[in-house]
Amino acid sequence: MRGYLKTAATAALAAITLCSAQPAAQARDGIGVGGAAALGVLGGVVAGTAIASANNRPVYAAPPPAYVEEICHIERRGFIDPYGVEHIRRVRVCE
């Protein structure tokens, strides 16, 4: 059992050492470190522009129209219909 554990531990150590020692796989004409940094900056600019345009408000907005309060009251007005009957109707009158 002890021999098996030593062999497994040695194999695991060798696998970790070999995997960590390998250079990163790159395409023949890869981007490189500078290109990756430039793409990161460009992505940040695009994301920042999208966030900033979500809260797009005009620099100058016209003030809302002034509220004009109407002065209204109710009046009672009488009229006579074609049959000669007098009716009284309430009418809203605004000035």
Q: Could you tell me the residue range of the domain that residue 84 belongs to? A: 69-95
Q: What is the pLDDT of residues 20-63, one digit of tens each?
A: 655 666 555 666 677 777 778 878 888 877 777 776 666 677 77
> Residue 80: its pLDDT value, please?
94
Mean of pLDDT over the chain: 76
In a domain, 36, yes or no: no
pTM of this prediction? 0.30
Residue 74 lies in a domain: yes
Q: What is the pLDDT of residue 70?
A: 83
Residue 73 has pLDDT above 60, yes or no: yes
Instruction: Give the span between the Cα atoms of 35 and 42, in whole angstroms.
Output: 10
Does residue 60 form part of some domain?
no
Alpha-carbon separation of residue 20 from 11, 13, 45 (angstroms): 14, 11, 34
- In the chain, DSSP finds a helix count (H) and a strand count (E) of 2, 2
Identify whether 61 is part of a domain: no
How many domains does the chain divide into? Answer: 1
Residue 26 lies inside a defined structural domain of this protein? no
The pLDDT assigned to 13 comes to 65
Q: Is residue 52 part of a domain?
A: no
pLDDT of residue 40: 80
